[in-house]
Homo-oligomer: A and B are copies of this chain.
């Protein structure tokens, strides 16, 4: 039988994450990849987690291996609630649950809110995992450019005026993926004002917020949310380990009730051993000290990458200056197609993410590309950026 005739409308036009597909091409270990979004594996607390996992399985193995609660392992959930509270997140009408990675929070919120044809405004460029979550609910996506201080709020308002179907704004306001840009406080206030005026919900995806290595903290949208419009999406992936698939979501209680049912349907509950391991790590050790190490490392690597870019890239290629997170974004003069350039780069054993993979219309041509500085060591940053600079010079000179 030809099963493809039976695919749902939601999924039949979906494209796999080109970034994750690229990973497979990058199995060649001689390629220096700036394409991923992975944390530095040298900073994983492997020894600590080895002891923790062994202790848990020996002493609380029957809990760790048994079915758990959909909302999350209670001690970890309470710890997350307290931490969020200290950041001004989570009011009386909010609820917080543990999810299986930040992506699951996006997916549950999208499923709970989006009908076919509902409008979702996304930053452009943005994170494909988010975009596909909305597409797979048959939502209509509208892109708004990210300027140097965050989303273009004038364009955001125009789109709200032009379209009556806007239900959600998706934003990675801090150290945005892929641009590395942080939305200014002023713009955050404006975004909240527009949400209220045009009655939309904000998905604030904040997996990188803890990883600031320069500049001053800016309050999260959720901490300024007065009427329960912000769904806050947090993650342990960048501050502890992505392989453990742990995140958390804080949102309005009534919405959370729907999301919890969707989580029962999605995976019943999150891996219990992971949750207990994370709880033991954050209570036996200092998560903040661990994060401080990550900040210093990523700050150093980011500065090194920018130094190398300025030394080796053609002057016509601009770059963002992130104050945290994992990514910076480069832009070539108009007319270049970085998807084509990627092929040449791969030949020279260096990889990045073409900007087209971060656009709502991923068939569009983009003259930008994303570079990740967290996953590579310093030697590879030097060698890889130099090689990429040679490729770019050949093209633009």
Which residues of A are in contact with B by a Cβ distance under 8 Å?
1-4, 6-12, 14-17, 20, 23-24, 36-39, 41-42, 44, 46-47, 49-51, 53-54, 57-58, 61-70, 100-101, 103-104, 107, 111-116, 118, 129, 132-133, 136-137, 167, 199, 201, 227-229, 237, 241-245, 252, 254-255, 257-258, 260-262, 264-274
CB pair B242 A65 closer than 8 Å: yes
Contact indicator B270/A6 (Cβ below 8 Å) = no
CB pair A260–B16 under 8 Å, yes or no, is yes
Contacts A8-B114, A20-B264, A53-B57 known; A254 to B201 CB distance under 8 Å? no
Interface centre among A6, A64, A112 (most CB of B within 10 A): A6
CB distance from A81 to the nearest CB of B (A): 18
**B contact residues around A254 at 8 Å (CB):** 2-4
22 contacts between A and B (CB under 8 A): A1-B229, A3-B252, A4-B254, A6-B167, A15-B261, A16-B257, A37-B67, A38-B66, A41-B65, A44-B66, A46-B62, A46-B65, A47-B57, A63-B243, A67-B242, A107-B265, A129-B265, A129-B268, A132-B261, A244-B271, A245-B267, A245-B269
- Identify which of B50, B68, B242 contacts A54 (C-beta below 8 A): B50
Q: Is the CB of B1 within 8 A of A107?
A: no
Question: A61 touching B36 by the CB < 8 A rule?
Answer: no
Q: How many Å lie between the Cα of A220 and that of B72 in the bound state? A: 34
- Say whether, besides A50-B53, A103-B267, A243-B67, A44 and B17 are in contact (CB < 8 Å): no
Q: Which of A12, A36, A100, A242 has the most CB of B within 10 A?
A: A100
User: Complex: how many Å from CA A125 to CA B103?
Assistant: 33
A137 to chain B: closest CB distance in Å?
7
Q: Which residues of B contact A258 (CB under 8 A)?
A: 7, 11-12, 14
Residues on the B chain within 8 Å of A272, using CB: 243-244
Q: How far is the CB of A235 from chain B (nearest CB, A)?
A: 11
Task: Give the CA-CA distance A333 to B10 in the complex, in Å.
Answer: 45
Bound CA–CA A257/B21 (angstroms): 12
Question: Among the listed B38, B118, B273, which residue makes an inter-chain contact with A273, where contact means beta carbons less than 8 Å apart?
Answer: B273
Asked whether A113 and B66 contact (CB < 8 A) given A3-B254, A58-B46, A244-B271, the answer is no
Q: Give A260 to B54 CA distance when docked, in angstroms.
A: 32
- B199 & A1 in contact (Cβ 8 Å cutoff): yes
A229 to B268, CA, bound (A): 26
Q: Which residues of B contact A7 (CB under 8 A)?
A: 112-113, 255, 258
Minimum Cβ distance to chain B for residue A296 (Å): 20
In the assembled complex, which residues on chain B have CB atoms less than 8 Å from the CB atom of A2?
254
Q: Are A8 and B137 CB-contacts (below 8 A) given A14-B258, A261-B16, A264-B132?
A: yes
Residues of B within 8 A of A199 (CB): 1
